[in-house]
Amino acid sequence: MKQLIFVFLLCLVSVAAQAQPGNRPNGADRKELREERFAKIKAARQAYITEELELTNKEADAFFPVFWSYDERLKQEGTRNKERDFAPADLTEGEALKILRDHQARRQASLNLSIEAEDAFLKVLPARKIIQLPEVERKFRKLLWERTREIRKSRRN
């Protein structure tokens, strides 16, 4: 009986050992890979915007430092706007009103930041190109999403 239990445990351990990931990166390597991936996406985004808006080298050199600065600030503002740790059904009217006012203030701050960014962009680009920017960014996100979907689909097959 002991031998049977020993063989069973040995089989269980060997199956568990084989199920472990082989070449999966550890925490630091995973962070490095993630940063590398985001750097590639950022470079592709910059190239796409440059091409779609037909930016000259001079315009691109002046525009992108301002663009990335505001992009980072808008991203931080966006993550702040996603904070929702309440259940609407459990709120009193006063709590709901406070949450609503906080949400309005965050949206107003985000709008103010967007207006500030557009004013800064106007200093380096013509208004026609700035008006096209949101649509170009939407197209880039759609393209990125489609490529990601294709990669995931090919990995499954």
Query: pLDDT tens, 111-142?
Result: 999 999 999 999 999 999 999 999 999 999 99
Domain span at residue 122? Answer: 52-126
65 within a domain of the structure (yes/no): yes
For residue 118, is it within any domain? yes
pTM: 0.70
Look at phi and psi of residue 54 and say left if phi exceeds 0, alpha if psi is from -120 to 50, else beta. left
19 in any annotated domain: no
Amino acid present at 138? R
User: How many domains in the chain?
Assistant: 1
pLDDT tens for each residue of 23-54: 555 667 888 899 999 999 999 999 999 999 99
Q: What value does the mean pLDDT take over residues 60-76?
A: 92
Task: Tell me the C-alpha distance between 20 and 108, whole Å.
Answer: 49
Q: Is residue 138 one of the residues assigned to a domain? A: no
C-alpha radius of gyration, the chain, whole number: 25
In a domain, 62, yes or no: yes
